[in-house]
Structure 1
Amino acid sequence: MSTLPGDCLAQIFSYLDEDSKSLYAFIRVNRLWCVNAIKYLWKQPLRFALILKNTTAYTLRHRTKTGKLAETFIKCLIHNEMVAGGEIQNRRRRSPRVPLVSPPLFNYIGFIRRLDLDDLGLTIAEWAEYISSPKYNRNSSLVKVRNVVFSVLIQQRPARYKSIKDFREDKSLIKELTVRVCELLINQIQKLDYLSIKPIQDFPTSDILFTHLMKGSWFNLITKDYMSIINYPHANVSLSHLVEFEWDESMAEAESSRQFLLDLSRVCTKIQTIKFDMNKLQSQSLLISEALQILIESQTRLEEFELRNCDLYSYHIMHGLKKRASTLKKLTLRQVDSSSLEFISDIAYLYSLEELRYYEGNLLSKDAWPLSFTHFPKLILYEIDDLFPTTITVNPDALVSDSCPILQTFIYNQKRFYKAESTSLIIKSVGLNCQFLRHFECNAEICSIDLLKFVFISSSNLETIIITNDRVSLNIDGLLLVIRLKNLKYLELNGSWEFEVEPLKRFLINSKPPLSTIVLSENKCFEDSHLQVLLRYLKGVLTTFHVFKLTKRLSIDMRRQAKEDIEDFLYKRKTNVDD
């Protein structure tokens, strides 16, 4: 490993850019590893420091780590500004008593590519708590560092306070520090790829972070200031190449949120991914929807859009997406409700979609859901999960194609809102229009095996099948006798499916599938003879076999044989790979 060139190390480390523990270990190996790993460790340092912020596991020990990170972060900002000869350098020349800040080992700020504004505010608040702690103030060297930072940033020493209590009660100080840090940060970041706002959740969270949610806390004062970051002079440079924007903000005022989105649409025009959580705030929905429409329309490269927890009372968002139909490839709606189908019917005009997902939406309408996957000739993935109502019909005005020639993944799960008529209609449509499926998943009221037979015969290249039947006991012997699935690798049967040994045997002989994984749950017919057939005809192929809540208990001998066969095959395969 010591002879690997830096380019190879950087390529390896790029696959671990979300693993802070590994990256931290890498920087301690040697200088070459450190140089190549540090840029990934500091790509999103605040997220790594506050990864436990929405859990009860965040403790005083984590606060100390966050405080030390913030101190390194701020010292690097100050040093860069001094070297550049900016305002801080000129101020230092006027005040020769202000000591120099020691230069950092790396320009850490130059590595930052992902920034969450809420994490930024929380980091500053945690740093303020850290430097005002009794333990910190008992260390004279740390106090000197704090005094240097204060002197350089705002020409003010905390020593003028008679006690830590006086320091903590000076609300204007933390606001001024926040503004100065944000100004320096935006001025020094050359290229930001990801920007988000993900606030602390009220519950669950640790006791020490819960104090930040209280009225009048330092953090609440900070959150009112950092949203103006978009208006700093250098923002049009650092944010001009923004690729991803994620919003999960429920505490901000509607007008300030609206203005932030409008300012962002003015600065950023190349965003490829937008993920937006409305948090069901009906009082803000119209103001935010109008601003979000402008942000969407201003993007020339928008490929992915996700909307969460939203009550659609207007057409703004979908009209904005309709104007981006030529570039939009992925659309995800999670818990998006609407009192009228007209507010979401423009989905059908997004003819370039490759992935469409809709989770747990309530349309509050007696009309049928006016959308079919045949609207999208480029669609690769189609997923519906607990959508109400469930009836699928075709809107002829938006019909681009009468088939979906390249659909590979079909997922239809209606665990709560199910209707046999709706399920039959959509599965039949899959059989008629989709011949290249690789993944088929269905958890709905299937009333006829002929529907599944239709799909499996037309899509003979299926690799994954997951079907759940919790309502009516169905016999699939006829299905097993006629289908040929030569590429099937994963099979999961949940619920009351009935099949005899002989049809199972004929299916395995005729298809000879590379079936490596089988999962059975709540099955009433599976016995030792079924398992014996699987072990015989899938020998050298089957690697995983899971059973849950079977009505008939498998014998100890058959379970032992299955374990031995699978372990023996895995051992031989590993040995061959090693050789």
Structure 2
Amino acid sequence: MSSRLPNECYQQIFSNVQDTKTLFSIIQVNHTWCENAIIFLWKNPFRKEIDYNHTKIIPVLLSFLKKDKNTFFDYPSFITHLDFDNLFRITSKFYDNNENEVEYFMGLMEQDDTLPSIFSKLEYDKWPGFGQIWVIILLILVNMARRRANIQWFKFDIRYNDIKGFLSNNGKENDDVEYFYVDDERIVGSNVEMRYNIVNKIENIITTFLNLDDFNESKNFFENLEYLELDRSSFKVAILEAFSMCKNLKTVEIEHPFFQLILRPLVSLIKNQNNLENIIIYGVHNAYMADYHDAIFEIISSLNTAAHSLKRIEICGIKMMNDETFKFIGNCKNLEVLKLEDSYVSIKNFEWIALAEFSKLRSLELVYNWSNKEYVSQFNPIQMILQNKSISLNLKSLHLLNTYIKNHNLLKSISENCRNLINFTTQLTADDDIKYLFNILGNNPNIKEFQLLNPGYPMNLSTGFIIDLVKAFPKKTDYIRLVHIVNNLDEFIKFLENCMVDLKFLYVVVSTNNDINEFGECVKRWSEERKKKIKKLDIFSIPSDKKILVRWE
């Protein structure tokens, strides 16, 4: 029987399928399923889960160069997500393994007089390999623009592994080592100047495309962009300036070691947005650099222009010394998520947060931050925030791990004001914290995920405490992380024996004087007794501590 469902129904169903393999299977069922699912398969052809060895998509996207070539679907027009770094990886792999095809497409390009004039002027053969890759990517972007691809998501994150083959030593040093960052300190033996030159040339593909004089389609290519992510490897100034036409970004995620170098274009981009919802800023601690503090103040305070629409603010690795940095935050009436990590936050800036009325705030994450030494030795500034009931009463997720700041009366304030926590993370810094911890667990019966850390302050964490702790877990708790809370195997056994919740995940870190293998055997016996099937069991031994991670079905 032929299906009579309208295409809109199929598309509504298939739009919920995220797995690439499942989408591949769907398009092979019949023609109707194929024509309605193919748009979702090609929505993000450069997604990370697609193996970059899968290079067949490159000739498909270059097929427009063939005058007599007709493809069954208009694939480039389906693309909405452009993961540029994965496009570069796939194209590089295509070049390495398909020399004849590359030569063929280069020949077609030279014969195509409908292309922007820049293609007739390119001397790509002066840099064998990289030059051809550069041209292929530019051709793909031009084809996408011609076919009216509606790009809504863009990410640029070139890593060292992507470019090491183009360095003067051809990447032969430490070829078996994976580099996940591009900091100079992590790249032994590479030519740093050449590396940045290569990254600059890769970034130049984007800016060249956006500034083609005789190709108006490129000017509007990113006009509907909603997500922009620029990670540490790029220089960003040119890209940020090129993206200045974007007015409707909902998410900006940016990482840079020297924000003072990109101050003007970044602030301009932020101020140009109509409804920015999410801002994620990652930096490194280089406050000794000239103009750092002024740049950080100007960048963060510029968020005031988007205060009406901001829902998420995440800041990591930043020193916020200027006391007026967070003055704007009280205007963020729609804020749902606030995260500050590995950052210096002045006391006054904590006060600005504490004075705000965040009736919609659901998640507060303050981890590994520090502040004025004289002040935090007497008082925990985060306590001010939790004493604000317009913030604390509605929180669902609360993560507080600031090892450089003692709790003082922080847990007392949480126990008095928080009643709706689902995810809770904290540390213990004194024996007085324990009674308030139990009060928190008792006052929040919906806690599902619980994490507790002992950062090393002198305390009496006995076997009795372990037994009382496990008995205090709310019935819904099924995810537990304990870091230096359990001291030995006997306490671990007591923990399991008294555990009445249906654990799905357990992560325990203990000192190095324990035999972590015994912990693993203990978990196996306990799981068998409780008729719980282990899905994953990993044990780790590193110089600083030992760990066990367990997942149950």
Answer yes or no: same fold by TM over 0.5. yes
Task: Please list, as runs of the form range in 1=range in 2, the aligned pairs for 1:157-556 lying within 5 A after superposition.
Answer: 181-199=140-158, 201-202=159-160, 204=161, 208=165, 221=201, 223-231=203-211, 233-235=216-218, 237-248=220-231, 250-252=233-235, 257-265=236-244, 267-278=245-256, 280-281=257-258, 285-310=259-284, 312-314=292-294, 315-344=297-326, 346-347=328-329, 349-363=331-345, 369-370=350-351, 372=353, 375=356, 376-389=358-371, 391=376, 392-393=380-381, 403-414=391-402, 417-420=403-406, 423-448=407-432, 449-469=434-454, 471=456, 472-474=459-461, 480=468, 487-490=475-478, 492=480, 494=482, 521-523=486-488, 525-526=490-491, 531-534=496-499
Quote the Cα distance in structure 1 between the aligned partners of 2:336 and 2:36: 36
Contact 2:423 2:447 in 1 (8 A): yes
Quote the Cα distance in structure 2 between the aligned partners of 1:478 and 1:542: 16
Contact 1:318 1:346 in 2 (8 A): no
- Change in Cα spacing, 1:556 to 1:110, as seen in structure 2 (3 Å) is closer
Letter in 2 for 1:409: S
Quote the Cα distance in structure 1 between the aligned partners of 2:96 and 2:526: 61
Residue 247 of structure 1 and its aligned partner are, at CA, apart by 1.3
- Change in Cα spacing, 1:374 to 1:524, as seen in structure 2 (3 Å) is farther
Contact 2:347 2:381 in 1 (8 A): no
Quote the Cα distance in structure 1 between the aligned partners of 2:8 and 2:476: 39
1:219-244 CA-partner distances (Å, limit 9, x unpaired):
86453242143345234544222211
- Change in Cα spacing, 1:195 to 1:493, as seen in structure 2 (3 Å) is closer
User: What is the match of residue 113 of structure 1?
Assistant: 80
Contact 1:418 1:445 in 2 (8 A): no
Unaligned runs of 5+ in 2: 117-123, 172-190, 287-291, 536-553
Unaligned runs of 5+ in 1: 53-61, 80-99, 157-164, 498-520, 571-579
- Change in Cα spacing, 1:117 to 1:555, as seen in structure 2 (3 Å) is closer
Residue 569 of structure 1 and its aligned partner are, at CA, apart by 13
Quote the Cα distance in structure 2 between the aligned partners of 1:226 and 1:403: 42
TM-score, length of structure 1 as denominator length = 0.67
Quote the Cα distance in structure 1 between the aligned partners of 2:34 and 2:450: 45
Letter in 2 for 1:268: C
Letter in 2 for 1:300: N
The question of 1:72 aligning with 2:72 is answered no
TM-score, length of structure 2 as denominator length = 0.70
Quote the Cα distance in structure 1 between the aligned partners of 2:370 and 2:249: 32
Quote the Cα distance in structure 1 between the aligned partners of 2:166 and 2:409: 51
Residue 248 of structure 1 and its aligned partner are, at CA, apart by 1.8
1:97-135 CA-partner distances (Å, limit 9, x unpaired):
xxx33111210011100114455556556555555x3xx
1:61-104 CA-partner distances (Å, limit 9, x unpaired):
x3xx43x422210214x47xxxxxxxxxxxxxxxxxxxx33111
What is the number of residues matched between the two proteins? 478
Quote the Cα distance in structure 1 between the aligned partners of 2:520 and 2:238: 67
Residue 435 of structure 1 and its aligned partner are, at CA, apart by 2.0
- Change in Cα spacing, 1:302 to 1:223, as seen in structure 2 (3 Å) is closer
Q: Which has the larger radius of gyration?
A: 1
What is the SS of the residue equivalent to 1:526? helix
User: How large is the Cα RMSD of the aligned pairs?
Assistant: 4.7
Contact 1:16 1:22 in 2 (8 A): yes
Identify the range of structure 1 (425-434 vs 547-556) with the bigger mean alpha-carbon deviation.
Answer: 547-556
Residue 148 of structure 1 and its aligned partner are, at CA, apart by 3.2
Residue 382 of structure 1 and its aligned partner are, at CA, apart by 0.6
- Change in Cα spacing, 1:419 to 1:566, as seen in structure 2 (3 Å) is same
- Change in Cα spacing, 1:381 to 1:544, as seen in structure 2 (3 Å) is closer
What is the SS of the residue equivalent to 1:292? helix
What is the SS of the residue equivalent to 2:393? coil
Q: Percent sequence identity over matched residues?
A: 19
Higher fraction of helix: 1
Letter in 2 for 1:245: L
Contact 2:227 2:252 in 1 (8 A): yes
